[in-house]
Structure 1
Amino acid sequence: MNTLVCTAPGELVLEQRPRPVPAEGEVLVRIRRVGVCGTDMHIFRGTQPYLAYPRIMGHELAGEVVSAPTGVDLAPGEAVYIMPYMSCGHCSACRKDKPNCCRNIQVLGVHVDGGLAEYLCVPAGFVGKATGLSLDEAAMVEFLAIGAHAVRRAQIQPGQSVLVVGAGPIGIAAALFAKLAGGVVTALDGRRDRLDFCAEHIGVDHTVDLGPDSAHRLGSITDGDFFDVVFDATGSPKAMEAGFAYVGHGGAYVLISVVSADITFSDPEFHKRETTLLASRNATLEDFEMVVETIRAGKAPTRALNTHSGRLADLPTDLPNWMSPEAGVIKAIVSC
């Protein structure tokens, strides 16, 4: 079968590998679509801290069932999405029903080989029906679920003021589900094109360009109260530290971004505001199912989100181009 291997930073090689044979309890999936995300770009750049090369990237996956174990409600030819976080099921986190932060987690395309290949074997519990979704939409479930999980962690109430810092795909997903939860949402980013996308397709209430007067403008929007909930989706330690100042008294700060850095903040301000600080990692089956229902209901702008498309064989050329801000990529989807 065809596979695309990142052999080293900056090197993508199309390789022929044997078609995998499913072990007991595994579903054999013919991969049809793979969403490209920031993690893949970090792998290509050589800035992903949890990865060893060579690696087959790809964890935003949609495909069709080739075979499934006896007793599993999946039929050959059925469209499916894949939850790429392979949790162990028995560690302390899994026992607390938090498999998204499993102590032994193996993420497809990061810790183990992913889906930029024609076929993939996956344990049945990580394969979900994509009934009513196109294959392109099924490939978007994973990144939308990350935003949905963060919003669920924040327990947003209708009418609360919400700030999303970073209007890339994950920030857009957080803004979408914050709006659906009834929040009054502001997006902050350094790229006007992405802010315009949030206004047009997500319906955010306010957009603010990153700049020297950002804090003043954010304060003006909220009459000086700042925000009940702030999400960071920037991947920037400096931005993550700045975000503490945007949380209003009694508010919550949700860090979706993961960075290889120490994050510092003013303890007096943190205590004065009685800030709730939350990490949000990956997503759960509940989040995936909610996203599927949201797409089926027509509440997610999937057509607008899918800005770029390509083929597996062309990705060595396409990926470097898509990484340029000038390309205007929100979500690129590869056909396998």
Structure 2
Amino acid sequence: MMKALVCVEPGRFERTDRPRPQPQPGHIRIRIGHVGICGTDYHIYGGQQPFLSYPRVMGHELSGRALDASADGRIAVGDLVVINPYLTCGHCHACTIGKPNCCENIGVLGVHRDGGMCEEVLVPEQNAYKAEGLDERAAAMVEFLAIGAHGVSRARLRPGSSVLVVGAGPIGLAAAIFAGIDGAGVTLRDSSASRLQLAAGVLPQARLELVGEEAAQAYDTVFDATGSIHAMNAGLGWLAHGGTYVLLSVVKGDLSFADPEFHKRETTLLASRNALKADFEHVMDCIRRGLVPIERLATHETGFDEAVTNLPLWAADRGTLIKAIIRV
């Protein structure tokens, strides 16, 4: 048996025991070392995550040590790995055109099936990436950073272009970091002064704007990372003519733009979902090169047993939190 953290039902988070996963052809068992807590996890705890069945072992931002070697020799027993939590079918249209991040039959660890808030997991070999040169805590932050990196990759930024990121939570910060790495000038906009203060510590070179203030300019590229349909509908107003609007947020509701405003800008509208292996590799390379302020992103940390108390507290008040990490 192994220890696990289970959200039994909304508002009920417990430490329990589960059977350890057994070896399986084409898969690797991984001893989990660290787990990043995502906004999705807080939503599962709060009962705001649709299409989810309880009880659920949460956790999809994962790093750990391989307990099995991969058949192709990429990964040896004991190697530190990052887990790609998006389990794909491999045969739908999206998978066959190289876009498994939007697989028609996707299953996400910790959401659609039990995740990594436990001692061991079993994943397909192709979902484990060797994290050479990283430590376990940094490796547990690769997945959320890859979400932002994927959105930036979709935008194809030009060096020197102007970028506005609306929403200074973890995904917005990730997008801002990788937009800066690509040579863009970055502005962060948020409705929370405390969030902007945290963002200033992560991205001291970025311009900060509080919602309600007049925007400094129109931007070549606007990223929405708010999780608010109202903000997503309003974001077009910050975009320059000829610009690109990238939606990192996924929410219920309908997008509604004034067609004349959309057309006169000849707007490019992009959705960005999950991340690809190339995004994970890019993030790990940037961390190794010292381009990602990992220490400033990891604001909170907890032990495994203490997480039963701490996760509910953080779910109720994330005002001083960027990324919390569980040590398994």
TM-score, normalised relative to structure 2 = 0.97
Per the alignment, residue 98 of structure 1 pairs with 99
- Please give the alpha-carbon distance, in whole angstroms, between the structure 1 residues aligned to 2:205 and 2:316: 25
The question of 1:275 aligning with 2:272 is answered: no
Per the alignment, residue 302 of structure 2 pairs with 310
- Please give the alpha-carbon distance, in whole angstroms, between the structure 2 residues aligned to 1:54 and 1:268: 48
For 1:130-279, list aligned pairs within 5 A. Answer: 130-211=131-212, 214=213, 217-218=214-215, 221-222=216-217, 226-279=218-271
Per the alignment, residue 120 of structure 2 pairs with 119
How big is each residue's C-alpha offset from its partner over 1:278-332, in whole Å with a ceiling of 9 and x where there is no partner? 0000000000000000000011000111000012222221012112446511000
- Please give the alpha-carbon distance, in whole angstroms, between the structure 2 residues aligned to 1:326 and 1:121: 31
Pick the aligned partner of 1:328 from 315, 320, 325.
320
The question of 1:319 aligning with 2:311 is answered: yes
Letter in 2 for 1:142: E
Letter in 2 for 1:160: S
Percent of aligned pairs with the same residue? 52
Letter in 1 for 2:103: C
State how many pairs are aligned. 327
- Please give the alpha-carbon distance, in whole angstroms, between the structure 2 residues aligned to 1:72 and 1:55: 33
How big is each residue's C-alpha offset from its partner over 1:82-138, in whole Å with a ceiling of 9 and x where there is no partner? 000111111100111001000011110011110001000011100011111010000
Contact 1:234 1:257 in 2 (8 A): yes
How big is each residue's C-alpha offset from its partner over 1:163-211, in whole Å with a ceiling of 9 and x where there is no partner? 0000000000000001111111110012223223333322343110112
Instruction: Kindly state the Cα deviation for residue 52 of structure 1 after the two structures are TM-superposed.
Output: 1.3
Structure 1 runs of 4+ with >3 Å offset:
69-72, 324-327
Letter in 2 for 1:319: L
- Please give the alpha-carbon distance, in whole angstroms, between the structure 1 residues aligned to 2:158 and 2:71: 43
Per the alignment, residue 16 of structure 1 pairs with 17
- Please give the alpha-carbon distance, in whole angstroms, between the structure 2 residues aligned to 1:130 and 1:323: 29
Contiguous gaps of at least 5 residues in structure 2: none
Q: Secondary structure at the match of 2:209?
A: strand
Contact 1:24 1:69 in 2 (8 A): no
The question of 1:109 aligning with 2:101 is answered: no
- Please give the alpha-carbon distance, in whole angstroms, between the structure 2 residues aligned to 1:54 and 1:260: 23
How big is each residue's C-alpha offset from its partner over 1:219-248, in whole Å with a ceiling of 9 and x where there is no partner? xx22xxx11100000101111111111111
**Once structures 1 and 2 are overlaid, which stretch shifts more, 120-129 or 316-325?**
316-325
TM-score, normalised relative to structure 1 = 0.95
Letter in 2 for 1:50: F
- Please give the alpha-carbon distance, in whole angstroms, between the structure 2 residues aligned to 1:72 and 1:87: 22
- Please give the alpha-carbon distance, in whole angstroms, between the structure 2 residues aligned to 1:288 and 1:71: 19
- Please give the alpha-carbon distance, in whole angstroms, between the structure 1 residues aligned to 2:29 and 2:93: 29
Per the alignment, residue 8 of structure 2 pairs with 7
